[in-house]
Amino acid sequence: MKLKIICAILFVFVATAANAQCAMCRAVLESGEDQSAAEGINDGIVFLMAVPYIIVGTIGFIFYRKYNKPKTEN
The whole domain housing 31 covers 19-67
- Residue 6 lies inside a defined structural domain of this protein: no
Going from the C-alpha of 25 to that of each of 1, 21, 32, 42, the distances in angstroms are 42, 6, 11, 9
Nearest CA-CA partner of 38 in 28, 48, 46, 47: 28
Taking the C-alpha atoms of residue 10 and residue 63, their distance in angstroms, rounded to an integer, is 21
Selected residue with higher pLDDT from 47 and 54? 54
Which pTM value belongs to this model? 0.46
Question: pLDDT tens for residues 4-18?
Answer: 888 777 776 666 555
| 10, part of any domain | no
**Is residue 59 one of the residues assigned to a domain?**
yes
- Is 40 part of any domain? yes
49 vs 38: which has the higher pLDDT: 49
Q: What mean pLDDT is predicted for residues 32-47?
A: 76
pLDDT for the residue numbered 58? 95
- Give dist(CA 13, CA 38) in Å, integer: 25
State how many domains the chain has: 1
Per the domain annotation, does 12 fall within a domain? no
Report if residue 5 sits inside a domain: no
pLDDT of residue 32 exceeding 80: no
Per-residue confidence (pLDDT) for residue 15, from 0 to 100: 60
Domain-located, residue 13: no
